[in-house]
Chain A
Amino acid sequence: MANAYFRLLAAQVRSQTQYRLSFALDLGFSTVLTSLDLVTLWVLFAVNDNLGGFGGKDVLLMVGIAAISFPIADLVVGNTEKLRFYVRSGLFDAVLLRPLSALGQLVAMDFAPRRVGRVVQGTAIYVVALAVAPVQWSAPVALLVVLAPLAGAVFFAAIFVAGATVAFWWIDSGEISNAFTYGGKDVAAYPMTVFGGLFRRVFAYGLGFAFVSYLPALAMLGKSDPLGTLDWLRWCSPLTSLIVATLAGLFWRSGVRHYRSTGS
C-alpha cells in the first residue's frame, strides 16, 4: 500500500523535473525566502531582547519549535492547498476513482521536494535554541523535546488539511486558510503574553496554537504560564494535536461527501 503512494510521489518528482528551469527557479526562490525569514528573526532580537516578559533565549526556543514543526507539516501536507484547483476543475474525480485514500493521493501527487530545505533550516534553529536556552533537562523534558516538534507538525498539518477542506464548500477559500496556516505559524512562534486579550483567547487557547510551542517551551524551561494555564497542560501538546487532527479528519471526510464535481 505504502508502495503505491511512494510511486505516486516519485512520479510527481519526475514530472516536476520535466520542467527543469522552473524547478531550479522554485528551489532558488524558496531558499531566498526562507533566508529572509531568518533575517526577520535576527532583526527582532537585535532591536529588543525582551518579548512579552520573556528573554531572547526563551523566545528563541518557542521560535525553534514552531520553526521545525511548521515546515514538516508544510512539506508533508502543505500541497493540499492545491485542492481548490482540483475541486474547481473537477480533477478531484480522478483522485476519487483510484483505490487509494484521497488525502494520501493529494499529498503524494503534489509533493514539493523544494520544501525540504526549510525543514533543515528549522531543525538548525531548534538545535541552536536547545543549546542556548536554559532548558531544565530531565527525562520527561527530553521526551518532550522530541515529541513537541512532531506534535506541532501534526497540529499544523491538521490546520492545513482543515483549511484546504473548506474548498469543498467555498472554492475561493485560499486567503482564509492562509490566515490560519501561515498566520498560525507566526502566532505559535511568540509568547502568548504579547497578544491582546480577545485575540489570545481565540487563537492561542480556543484554537490551540499555544500548545504548539509556547506551552511545551515553558515546560522545557521549567516555568509556569504567567497567563495562569494549569502546569500539567504544558505537557499536553501531543494530546491536543491528536484531538485537532481527529477533528480535521472528520471535517475532511464530510468535505469529500459534499464534493459536487463539475458538469459532464
Chain B
Amino acid sequence: MIIQTSLLRKDFTVRKKVGRFRRTATVVSAVDGVSLSVAEGEMLGYIGPNGAGKSTTLKMLTGVLTPSGGTVSVCGLTPVPQRAQLARRIGVVFGQRSQLWWDLPLAESFSLLRHVYRVPAADHAARLTYCRALLDLDSFMDTPVRQLSLGQRMRGELTAALLHGPSVLFLDEPTIGLDVLSKQAVRSFLAEVATRGDTTVVLTTHDLADIEKLCRRLVVIDHGRIVHDGTLDELHAAYRSKRRVVADLDAAWPGLELPGAAVESVEADGFRVTLTLEGATAGEVVARLAQAVPLRDLSVQEPEIEDVVARLYKGASSAGTAAPADR
C-alpha cells in the first residue's frame, strides 16, 4: 500500500463572536476518522461536496497540515516530520494554487524545479520532452506564467508536478474552471499517465466526468467521513440508480398509472413526461405508453453519476459532527 491512513482526523477551532466581548470556540472536524488504503499504480477518485474534507485530507497526505489524530503514511513516510523527504516522492497540483513562478517564463520554472528537486539533467529532459509533446506546451514555454491562460497554466502545473518522477500524484480539482478542450487535454494526459502504471494518482474533483473517464475506484467523503469506497458500478448498485424513459407527447399527459414505472416529472405543459423504471423493462413501458398516448419522440437515459452522487450527499448530510465547547 503506497498510501495508508487509519482514523485520520483534523480538527479546526472556529471562533465566533457572541456579544461584545465573549467568543465561543467550536471544534469542527474537517476530517473525522478517514481510513484509506491505496495500492501502487491505482487511480483513485476522491469526491465530496464543498467543505467535505477532500482538500484537508490531501493536505494531510502531503504534509501541509498536521493531523489532529490517527496515522498516515505515504510512500512509507510519515508526512509531517518527513515532509521534505516526501516532497521528492510526490507530485502535487492544487487547482487553486500555483507551483510555478508567477513572473518567470514557464521554461525557467521548469529548470528551477530541476534544481529544487535535484533531478539528473537527462531524466529531467526526458520527462519534459514527454510532457511537452503530450500537453502541447511548445507555443507558450517562453511566456511568463502570469500571462498564461488558465488552461495553459494547468498544463504547466501538471508538467511541473511530474518532472521529478513522483510515485504518487495528488491532484486537487485539476479541471476546475477549464474549458471543454482543456479539460479533455488534461484528462487524456492523466489517462496516459495512468496507463504507464508507475504513478499512483489521487484525484479530487467536482466534475464527475473526470471520475467516469479516469478512475475505477471512487471514494466519497462527506462531513469528514467516508460514505462510499468502491467502483462506480458498485455505487450505482448500492444506490439502485434507475434508468429513465423520457417521452415527448402529441397530447397533454393524461396522468396514467404504469405498472413497474413511476412518473418522475411532467414538463412542457404536460407534453413531456419522464418515467423512472422500477421493475418493468424499457420496452414494456414504451409499449404501454404508445397504446395510451400519441408519442412524438422517445429516449432512454442511463443513470447519471451526478444524480447518484447528489443522493449520496443528501443522505450523508444528516450525520453532521460539530461538538461545541465553550472556551
Residues of A within 8 A of B (CB): 1, 3-4, 7-8, 11, 14-15, 18-19, 90-91, 93-94, 96-101, 257-261, 263-264
Residues of the B chain whose Cβ atoms lie less than 8 Å from the Cβ of A91: 97
Q: Are B101 and A15 in contact, CB atoms less than 8 angstroms apart?
A: yes
Interface residues on B, range: 35 or more
Task: Knowing A94-B97, A96-B83, say if A260 contacts B112 (CB, 8 Å).
Answer: no
Q: Which residues of B contact A99 (CB under 8 A)?
A: 84-85, 87-88, 116-117
Whether B84 and A100, one on each chain, are in contact in the complex, defined by CB atoms closer than 8 angstroms, is yes
Question: Which single member of A8, A96, A100, A264 contacts B172 (CB below 8 Å)?
Answer: A264
Q: A15-B104, A94-B98, A99-B84 are in contact. Are A259 and B112 (CB under 8 A)?
A: no
**B165 at the A interface (CB under 8 A):** no
| A90-B97 in contact (CB<8A) | yes
CA–CA, A259 and B66, complex, Å: 8
Q: Does B40 contact A (CB under 8 A)?
A: no
Closest to A89 in B: B97
A-side interface mostly: loop
Bound complex: CA A259 to CA B172 (Å)? 19
Which residues on the A side are within 8 Å of B101 (C-beta)? 11, 15
User: Which residues of A are found within 8 Å of B97, using beta-carbon distances?
Assistant: 90-91, 93-94
Q: How distant is the Cα of A42 from the Cα of B255 in the complex, in angstroms?
A: 97
- Beyond A4-B115, A7-B112, whether A97 also contacts B12 by CB under 8 A is no
- CB–CB A98/B115 < 8 A: no
- Write out the residue numbers on chain A whose beta carbons fall within 8 Å of the beta carbon of B12: 260
Q: Using Cβ atoms and an 8 Å threshold, which residues of chain A touch B104?
A: 11, 14-15
Chain B residues whose CB sits within 8 angstroms of the CB of A100 once the complex forms: 84, 87, 116
- Given A11-B101, A15-B102, A15-B103, are A96 and B115 also a contact pair (CB < 8 Å)? no
Q: A11-B104, A15-B102, A264-B96 are in contact. Are A93 and B115 (CB under 8 A)?
A: no
B96–A257 contact, CB under 8 A? Answer: no
B253 at the interface (CB under 8 A from A): no
Q: State which of B99, B118, B144 has its C-beta within 8 Å of the C-beta of A97.
A: B99
Given contacts A19-B103, A90-B96, A263-B51, 4 further A-B contacts (CB under 8 A): A94-B99, A96-B83, A263-B55, A264-B96
Within B189-215, the residues touching A (CB, 8 Å) are none
Could you mark each residue 165-187 of chain B with 1 if its beta carbon is under 8 Å from any beta carbon of chain A, else 0?
00000001100000000000000
A264 CA / B173 CA spacing, docked (Å): 9
CA distance A100 to B64 in the complex (A): 13
Q: In the bound complex, do residue B85 and residue A7 qualify as a contact, i.e. CB atoms below 8 Å apart?
A: no
Complexed CA–CA distance, A100 and B12 (Å): 27
Contact: A3 with B115, CB < 8 Å?
A: yes
In Å, the complex CA distance between A85 and B83 comes to 22
Query: CA of A31 to CA of B103 in the docked complex: distance in angstroms?
Result: 26
Task: Compute how far the CA of A101 lies from the CA of B59 in the bound complex, rounded to whole angstroms.
Answer: 17
Across chains A and B, which 10 residue pairs bring their CB atoms closest together, nearest first? A99-B87, A15-B103, A7-B115, A257-B66, A99-B88, A96-B64, A99-B84, A18-B103, A4-B116, A97-B92
Contacts of B94 in A (CB 8 A): 93-94
Give Cα A244 to B148, complex, Å: 45
The contact sample of 20 A-B pairs, CB cut-off 8 A, is A1-B118, A7-B112, A11-B101, A14-B103, A18-B103, A19-B103, A93-B59, A94-B94, A94-B98, A96-B64, A97-B87, A97-B99, A98-B116, A258-B66, A259-B65, A261-B55, A261-B59, A261-B64, A263-B55, A264-B95
- CB of A25, distance to nearest CB on chain B (Å): 17
